[in-house]
Amino acid sequence: MVIIKSMSNPELTLISVILADDHAVVRAGIRQFLEHSKKIQIIGEASDGEEVLSKLKFLQPDVVVLDIQMPKMNGIAVAEWIKKNHPHIGVLILTAYDDDPYIQAVLDAGANGYVLKTSEPLEIVKAVLDVAEGKAVMDAVLTRRMMNQYAHPKPTMTTEPLTEREIEVLRLAGKGFTNKAIAIHLRISDRTVQNHLAHIFDKLQAASRTEAVMRAVSQGILSSDLAG
């Protein structure tokens, strides 16, 4: 842990944070209100997942704040790596994504908190402080939604498992391949790719490629490095 003393109050130990988001403007805004709290010090920034891991080689923050969608290595994969290799470091996911599959994948990765970027700055500050204290944090909007889902559960639906070919198609879709590129790579027709995706969406009860990939990750069908 990096111990940082406040210049204005030497008795106060600041919470050290690495902030990761692929948008510099977003990082600057988050940094401003986190440090404005006078309880938090940003000791490092990163624009992609691999840079986070590089920073951790010589920095030992109390908390790492991660976006989900980042180049090279997404926030879910980074969170999973941190909790396996540095379990004492708190991980807070700060993202715009509120889809259930993302939430499940983040929780499965072992992250300590999940907060939306639409939250009030004071709520995000509190989330960082709570995670630093070892508390579990969930955005209030998501908590209410999950409680409502628990109170009114959807009927359980049995679905067929994905075929090996469907998993191949979904893996390529998760890597950003277009239908045409998938068809060329697998030496099948565009129409066959469309049919495979339709079957995948139906089996995973997903409405988009992103949701299908996230559901597959949360179910262990695909690796978490395809989640962003």
> What CA–CA distances, in Å, run from 91 to 20, 69, 212?
11, 15, 25
Q: Which fold has domain 4-151?
A: Rossmann fold (3.40.50)
Check whether domain 164-226 has CATH 1.10.10.10, yes or no: yes
Q: How far is CA 52 from the centre of its chain?
A: 13
Contact 154, 130 (CB under 8 A): no
- Pinpoint the alpha helices (H) of the chain: 24-36, 49-55, 75-85, 100-109, 121-132, 140-151, 164-174, 179-186, 190-204, 209-218
pTM recorded for the entire structure: 0.65
141 touches 116 (CB < 8 A): yes
Confidence grade of residue 148 (pLDDT, cut at 50, 70, 90): low
One fold for 4-151 and 164-226? no
Reported as a single tens digit per residue, the pLDDT across 168-207 is: 999 888 777 888 889 999 999 988 998 899 899 888 887 7
The predicted model gives 1-5 an average pLDDT of 48
**Encoded tokens for 143:** 């908590």
Would you say how long the chain is, in residues? 228
Q: Which residues contact 79 (CB under 8 A, 6 or more apart)?
A: 66, 91, 93, 106, 109, 110, 111
User: Residue 153 and residue 143: Cα distance in Å, rounded?
Assistant: 15
- Is 99's pLDDT higher than 70? yes
- Residue 167: is its pLDDT beyond 70? yes
All structural domains of the chain with their residue ranges:
4-151, 164-226
Q: Which two tokens stand for residue 163?
A: 């075929």
For residues 26-55, average pLDDT:
94
Nearest CA to 213 out of 116, 60, 114, 68 is that of 68
